[in-house]
């Protein structure tokens, strides 16, 4: 069975992707900080399908330990889904919390890069069809007030993905930057420090991208013929325009 390694598998895109792949004959390595959610995800499936690892993207040692402790049953890795990431705060400069900036940089850029480097040998071992999908954002290209460092971290993901693709040219490993627009997950709840109501208000009257939508895109990317590579996939709900905040209501 092929194996997919997922960061941020405790909710949203990561959890939906884990479930879709597990239901369709893949083994899953589900990682994240919230152990109780990982355990619940694992227990939805037959023993041995989902391997869980508590992992903190802001801690490089945690990443290295999680990859080093993988059982042989979940090696090599055919697909790496670098999904873990977050936004914190929505204020414009200078009314920001520098600590939030540090967490976003450590998680969205350093965590993604460190995970990629740790998993790379297992992707090389998987052979043709091995795929890295990095979750970027349309915020990398379309700035909006309060997006400051979050958008900048996603610009890093975009450019890192293209450079990684270039560095891996000649190998069998594919690299895609998947860049969603408005998607309803726990994203806004996290961004507003746990305000679930703010999450609901933000998407009121909007049919956004769903976690299942992204999971289906992941399935498409991971199962493409091995000679094909999609460099960037930019996706928005039809109600959103490529000016980030222009929405038909």
Pick the catalytic residue from 142, 150, 193, 203.
150
Question: Alpha-carbon distance 226 to 48, whole Å?
Answer: 27
Ordered DSSP codes for 92-116: PTTS--HHHHHHHHIIIIIIHHHHH
Contact (Cβ atoms closer than 8 angstroms) between residue 179 and residue 82:
no
Local structure of residue 7 (DSSP, 8 states): S
Annotation marks residue 150 as catalytic: yes
Question: Alpha-carbon distance 179 to 80, whole Å?
Answer: 16
Measured CA to CA in angstroms, residue 148 lies from 30, 109, 116, 158, 207 at distances of 30, 14, 25, 16, 25
How is residue 221 written in tokens?
């990317």
Question: Alpha-carbon distance 246 to 249, whole Å?
Answer: 10
Cβ neighbours of residue 28 closer than 8 Å, sequence gap 6 or more: 3, 4, 6, 9, 18, 21, 22, 49, 50, 51
Could you list the active site residues?
A: 150
């Amino acid at each position: 069975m092929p194996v997919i390694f997922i960061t941020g598998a405790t909710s949203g895109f990561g959890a939906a992707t884990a479930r879709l792949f597990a239901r369709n004959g893949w083994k899953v390595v589900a990682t994240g900080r919230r152990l109780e959610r990982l355990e619940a995800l694992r227990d939805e499936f037959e023993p041995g399908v989902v391997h869980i690892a508590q992992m903190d993207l802001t801690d490089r040692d945690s990443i290295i330990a999680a990859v080093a402790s993988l059982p042989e049953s979940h090696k090599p890795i055919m697909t790496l889904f670098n999904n873990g990431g977050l936004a914190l705060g929505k204020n414009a400069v200078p009314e920001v919390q520098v600590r939030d900036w540090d967490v976003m940089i450590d998680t969205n850029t350093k965590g993604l890069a460190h995970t990629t480097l740790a998993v790379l040998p297992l992707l090389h071992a998987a052979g043709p069809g091995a795929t890295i999908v990095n979750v970027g954002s349309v915020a990398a290209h379309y700035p909006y007030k309060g997006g400051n460092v979050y958008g900048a971290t996603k610009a890093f993901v975009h450019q890192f993905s293209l450079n990684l693709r270039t560095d891996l040219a000649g190998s069998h490993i594919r690299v895609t930057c998947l860049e969603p627009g408005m998607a309803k997950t726990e994203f806004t709840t996290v961004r507003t420090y746990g305000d679930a109501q703010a999450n609901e208000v933000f998407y009121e009257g909007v049919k956004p991208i769903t976690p299942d939508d992204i999971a289906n895109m992941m399935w498409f990317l991971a199962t493409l013929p091995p000679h094909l590579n999609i460099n960037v996939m930019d996706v928005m709900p039809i109600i959103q325009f490529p000016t980030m905040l222009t929405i038909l209501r």
